[in-house]
A and B are shown apart, each in its own frame.
Chain A
Amino acid sequence: MSDEVLVEVEDLSRSYGAILAVRHISFSIRRGQVLGFLGPNGAGKTTTMQILSGNLAPSTGRVRIAGHDLLEDPRKAKQAIGYLPEQPPVYRELTVDEYLDYCAGLNRIARGRRRAAREAAKKKCGLSDVGRRLIGNLSKGYQQRVGLAQAIIHLPPVIILDEPTVGLDPIQIREIRHLIRELGKEHGVILSTHILPEVQATCDQVQIINKGELVLNDSIEGLSRHMQSSTLSVGLRNAPDLGLIQGIKGVKSVQDQGDGRLHVFYDPSTDPTEALVELAVQKHWGLYELQPQRASLEDIFVHITTEEHESLKGAAA
């Protein structure tokens, strides 16, 4: 059951006039998987999400959702989708209950079961206390939750969330992430974001998209490998001659940031941290800060794109 393929995307492209926003993307999602869709702004994340949810027609390619082709059998395919766009599609003048009842109706939930579906969705999203309030009077975080409740009210096999934690406070972000993990147990979830820790916290599969192209499709462990740090940020009170640090085994280069702060770049195969600390104690450099630099999303992009470049060059040679 858990390896049932829910979403199949084949050779998907979409152009806006002359601009190719998404180029030949293919991937699939199975039940019980949370797929993180990662990319910088303008990489084509939202376009892909809009295509998957049926809001945009692809220029070429095929999307199958729970076995139904999105273009040939849109009703069945869309019934299997819950979609939360970047901006939650809520009617401000309705109460939460009225709105969710309407969504239940739109998603063809039988009249008798709408109330139960609404209550269940509200409970999952922490909305039980605000059912009678106007959506327009709720805070951004609560509106986001209403949007999420709308996406899951018909218990769709596939849930598509476009930047679900934007504009939320840290506590709400944690709650939403927890909720997404919960949902990921029974549904297939696609989540787009440009926040790296979010992917690490919630997803088990990661895709990185850049300029409309899929540059990485890997498990979360695979991503950690890409993120292996190879930079140390060091703070020294009595900074020595940089040559001394350069001499430590494994150190490739040292950069002075001023104020006794140094960036030490090293070969990932030999970690010089220990040797550096020992030397610092011996020579009384006054070490007060030592931090492995976390690779940022940007670093990973650079890493991945250059890596691909090199492997391509290698193949050509």
Chain B
Amino acid sequence: MIFTIARNELRRMFLSPLAWTILAVVLFILAFMFLSNLQYFVMVQSRLLSMGSNQGLTAVVVAPLLGNTAVVLLLVVPLVSMRLVADERRNKTLSLLFSAPVSMTEIVLGKYLSLVAFLWLILALVALMPLSLLAGGTLDFGMFGAGLFGLALLIAGFAAVGLFMSTLTQHQTVAAVSTFGVLLLFWILDWAGQGSGASGILGYMSILNHYEPFLQGIFDTSDAAYLVLFILTFVTLSIRRLDMDRLGG
């Protein structure tokens, strides 16, 4: 049942020009960034070698690419997630789901899954760029894999926030703006109280601090657990919020 809903969501997403536009723009920008990084690497390659540095292709080209992807998706996820529930609420199509024999959890998970699937599709296309380097070089697959895994978890977290914000309102733009606000806040949370005692907690809460180790090829279970908990929290909140739709009023 979750998959029925997710498939329908994905189909409707790709029937609108929005999904295609986002795919095209995101991939174009990231390809541009990738190529500039590659050019830079070619320039400094001999110097790196002569310095005896162990910084290879993966560290110089791939890690920045994945870092940039996270930033670009921070901007893009709100645009994709905003319509999930808000749009249905506005068009009064939610009652189709509510009166069907499906539970609230299935509805929310179906919608969430469709969004994650779309974002992971972007990720898969982005991952093809570093893989193309295999034609003329080698990659550190451990580092690359850890980075991809971290990014996959991170954007699943973005999606969970977007979904929750979309359940709060019937205006897509409101959902998009608040999603962006929350995501950015989690991103820059460790700016606050830097150097003082408070940076400990805020720094721990910052989503960026749990993503960067992955880019350096470090798979830390506590970072993964943070992201998984982050996702679970917002998905659960979404379910609760939709349940409130029936109870409140």
Contact = CB atoms under 8 A, between A and B. Distances in A.
Contact of A53 (B92, B98, B247): B98
B8 A102 contact: yes
A56 interface: yes
A91 interface: yes
A94 B8 CA distance: 10
Given A94-B12, A94-B15, A98-B11, A55 B95 contact: yes
A254 B1 CA distance: 67
B132 interface: no
Nearest to B94: A89
A150 B93 CA distance: 12
B103 to A, nearest CB: 7
A17 B94 CA distance: 22
Contacts, number: 72
Interface stretch (A32-40, A71-79, A125-133, A276-284): A71-79
Contacts of B103: 74-75
B4 A105 contact: yes
A102 B4 contact: yes
Nearest to B96: A89
Nearest to B104: A74
B249 interface: yes
Interface size class for chain B? Answer: 20 to 34
Contact of A89 (B8, B92, B247): B92
Nearest to A92: B91
A101 B235 CA distance: 27
B101 interface: yes
Given A76-B101, A107-B101, A83 B249 contact: no
Interface residues of A, number: 32
Interface in A78-134: 78-79, 81, 83, 85, 87, 89-94, 98, 102-103, 105-108
Contacts of A106: 1, 4-5, 96-97, 100-102
B16 A85 contact: no
Nearest to A103: B96
A16 B249 contact: yes
B1 A108 contact: yes
A123 to B, nearest CB: 21
A61 interface: no
A54 interface: yes
B222 interface: no
Lowest 7 CB-CB distances: which A-B pairs, in order? Answer: A89-B96, A83-B99, A106-B100, A79-B101, A89-B93, A105-B4, A78-B101
7 contacts: A16-B249, A54-B98, A55-B98, A55-B246, A106-B96, A106-B100, A107-B101
Interface of B: 1, 4-5, 8, 11-12, 15-16, 91-103, 246-247, 249
Given A53-B95, A55-B246, A93-B15, 9 more contacts: A16-B249, A17-B249, A53-B99, A89-B95, A89-B96, A102-B4, A105-B1, A106-B5, A106-B97
